[in-house]
């Protein structure tokens, strides 16, 4: 019996894992991106095919994101009507928020589709549980995890979270203060804080 092609195996894998699971959870599919609206947020799952795929094998990554239109409004950005994964304020690769899956999935023509489909369904279920813990723009801001995300800094300043803004500055200083780029980063902190009339830089540092 002739094996299906890698493309056919890939389509079968999605048809037995991501597509029915995400549809069950209220997602809509557009090409390889799935979106779901809930409580003012948009959850996004994107299957990113590798640029180096061949006829024999298809490698893909699973990107997860949560988008808040209110977050964008607060920082003065026009909200996205159809946010893509790159528009999300919260962004993670699935292996960082789910167990039992590596940084990518590689599909060969002779892949064990049922076994990989089960693995992918389990990882997606775990990822959705993590994403579902975010209930609004404050949760999104607190979960971003980067001290040099200046959109998060602006959100904190705009919502009056001065202690959070100062904590973010101190975290960035601790991690990046010895790097050559630090003066440029510190100037970005200074400019953002000045625009809201708040001092976040330690006075002894000037």
Average of per-residue pLDDT across 182-205: 88
> Which pTM value belongs to this model?
0.92
In this predicted structure, which of 76-80, 152-156, 202-206 has the lowest mean pLDDT? 202-206
pLDDT number for residue 55: 75
Q: Alpha helices of 34-181 — where are they, by DSSP H? A: 69-74, 113-131, 137-143, 150-158, 162-176
pLDDT number for residue 54: 76
Q: Is 6 strand, coil or helix?
A: helix
pLDDT number for residue 162: 95
1: pLDDT strictly greater than 50: no
- How do 41-49 and 90-93 pair as beta strands? unpaired
Question: Could you tell me which of 160, 172, 175 has the C-alpha nearest to residue 201?
Answer: 172
204: pLDDT strictly greater than 60: no
- Mean pLDDT of all residues belonging to the chain: 94
What proportions of the chain, in percent to the nearest 5, are helix, strand and coil? Answer: 45, 20, 35
Instruction: Note the pLDDT tens digit of each residue in 108-155.
Output: 989 999 999 999 999 999 999 999 999 999 999 999 889 999 999 999
Instruction: Note the pLDDT tens digit of each residue in 10-68.
Output: 999 999 999 999 999 999 999 999 999 999 999 999 999 998 777 789 999 999 999 99
């Amino acid at each position: 019996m002739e094996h299906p092609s890698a493309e056919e195996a890939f389509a079968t894998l999605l048809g037995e894992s991501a597509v029915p699971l995400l549809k069950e959870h209220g997602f809509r599919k557009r090409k390889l991106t799935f979106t779901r609206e809930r409580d003012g947020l948009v959850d996004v799952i994107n299957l990113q095919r590798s640029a180096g795929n061949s006829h024999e094998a298809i490698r893909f990554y699973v990107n997860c994101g949560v988008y808040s239109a209110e977050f964008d409004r607060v920082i003065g950005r026009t909200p996205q009507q159809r946010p893509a994964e790159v528009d999300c304020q919260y962004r993670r690769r699935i292996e960082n928020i789910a167990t039992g899956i590596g940084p990518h999935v590689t599909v060969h023509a002779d892949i064990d589709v049922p076994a990989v489909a089960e693995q992918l369904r389990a990882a997606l279920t775990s990822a959705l549980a993590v994403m579902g813990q975010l209930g609004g723009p404050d949760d999104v801001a607190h979960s971003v995890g980067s001290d040099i995300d200046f959109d998060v800094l602006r959100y904190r300043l705009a919502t009056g979270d001065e202690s959070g803004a100062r904590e973010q500055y101190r975290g960035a200083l601790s991690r990046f203060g010895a790097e050559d780029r630090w003066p440029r980063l510190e100037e970005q902190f200074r400019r953002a804080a000045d625009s809201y009339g708040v001092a976040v830089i330690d006075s002894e540092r000037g």
